[in-house]
Amino acid sequence: LGGWTATRDTSSPNASRFDWDRRAGNTPSWYTGPERAHEGEFYLYLETSYPNTSDKIAYVESRDFEEAVSWVTFHYHMYGDQMGTLAVEAFDGSTWKQVWTISGQRHANHSSAWTRKQVN
């Protein structure tokens, strides 16, 4: 994952992993998106329909940020009836702080353009 690591769901002590999937092409679920990566061949994907429920949390993290870097840029695609919440959190050495969040369906269909986001 290019320096990023999928980490265990911490929403409950006995939680099973709710893993990100590296995909190419369409998603495996009908009426969801995207139909392809923003650029290149692959993208990270979460299946948000049954048996995955809205109370599950999946994390991907990187410890490779330089101290001088105060932002992260990424593209997201949120199309489907059961979209949850996408959030960016920052760790200051002692606590995690949510710095950006978005919830629900944000794209009109599976072929909609990805949305670019820079979080400072």
Cβ 30 vs Cβ 66: under 8 Å:
no
pTM of the predicted protein model = 0.83
Task: State both tokens at 97.
Answer: 């702080």
- 113 falls in which pLDDT band (50, 70, 90)? very high
H or E element in which residue 5 lies: strand 5-7
Nearest 10 degrees: Cα torsion 39, 44, 50, 54: -110
Q: How many domains does the chain have?
A: 1
Question: What is the residue range of 28's domain?
Answer: 5-119
* Per-residue pLDDT at 57: 80
